[in-house]
Structure 1
Amino acid sequence: MINRVEALLHPGRRRAALARAQARSDRSVVFICYGNICRSPFAELWMRRHDPEGAARYLSAGFRPGGRSSPDTAIAVSADRFDLDLRPHVSRGLDEVPEGDHLWVVMERVHRQGLMAEGVPADDIVYLGDLDPGPVERRAIIDPYGRDPEVFEAIYDRIVRCLRELPGDASA
């Protein structure tokens, strides 16, 4: 069921997110989620594959300390459904993101709040879900960690739909 408030706010949020991303299309893009093991590494890997000319400009990180692998379900779904190999991924913490001029792409409100608490200006942050070209049930890209493969598939499908809207994506 579509949340009426989200449905009403989405077109304006989408326009603003697209404009913000376009205005910063020359920056590196850092995808952020909580642990950097499911959503953000999938987004990074998908963009590297689909924008090979700009592959080096995509990174991902999380709020937890780095050094962890993606869960088996994330690895299986990304390989079977999207032909992406998350096996080599090792999570990064925010402190491992190199200094630079970044567009920060977050999955949830708490990620935006966390970045702003670290001094990242609001204008440098975009919700990935705001880029969704379709109607949305919620703004956030929910965390599939610990859930069934079907949930991972649905989340990864939405992430891909949103990523196709980012400036620089060669598959759009």
Structure 2
Amino acid sequence: MIARIYQALRRRLRAKRALAAAREGSLARVRKGGIKRVLVVCYGNIYRSPFAGVSLRQSLPADIEVRSSGFHRVAGRSSPERHVIMSRARNIDLSSHRSSKVTAEDLQWADIVVLMDRHNWGLLDDLGADHSKLVWLGAFGPGDVEIV
């Protein structure tokens, strides 16, 4: 029991440190350049990451590949209709999106992995993600680094 408590506290502290360094580290990773493959992740892969993925795909040069994925155990889920409608109002089409589950191969494939929150960070850490590839989406805006 004490070992589990210790592990939980250790993980929380690591996540807090990652969050504290998120803005500066994320900006530095993107400025470094050389990005050709982007993986965008959130927990369920039905609203945040697909929306961000399509938005990036529309705004980045055509030679940059963008995928989205999540951690939910069930793949193949569609975006809820209300999110499809809200996204369409912003010229983002999620009508044909189906969720997928992130794999170690996805993490290897990506030059950067765009994440939303500390929960995503912890799950990526559990999968052995290369922390030098992790980029917090909220780091590029004026508000919180976490997008929940």
TM-score by length of 2: 0.76
Between the aligned residues of both structures, percent identity stands at: 32
* Aligned mates of 1:79, 1:101 — CA distance in 2: 27
Note the 1:117-156 alignment, pairs <5 A. Answer: 117-132=126-141, 134=142, 136=143, 138-142=144-148
Counterpart residue identity of residue 17, structure 1: S
Q: 1:66 Cα shift?
A: 1.3
- Structure 2 SS opposite 1:58: strand
Q: Partner residue of 1:111?
A: 120
- Which amino acid counterpart does residue 141 of structure 1 have in structure 2? I
TM-superposed deviation, 1:22: 2.4
TM-align CA RMSD: 2.2
Change in CA separation of 1:29 and 1:67 when aligned onto 2, cut-off 3 Å: same
1:62 lines up with 2:76 in the alignment: no
The 8 Å contact of residues 22 and 145 in structure 2, kept in 1 or not, is answered as: no
Q: Deviations over 1:46-85 (max 9, x none)?
A: 1111225235x101000013100001111001102x1121
Compare CA radii of gyration and give the structure with the larger one. Answer: 2
Deviation at 1:29, TM superposition (A): 0.9
Query: Structure 2, unaligned stretches of length 5 or more?
Result: 1-18
Q: How many residues align?
A: 128
**Which structure 1 segments of 5+ residues have no match?**
1-8, 143-172
Letter in 2 for 1:94: V
**Aligned counterpart, 1:53:** 62
CA 52–124 in structure 1, closer or farther in 2 if over 3 Å, else same? closer
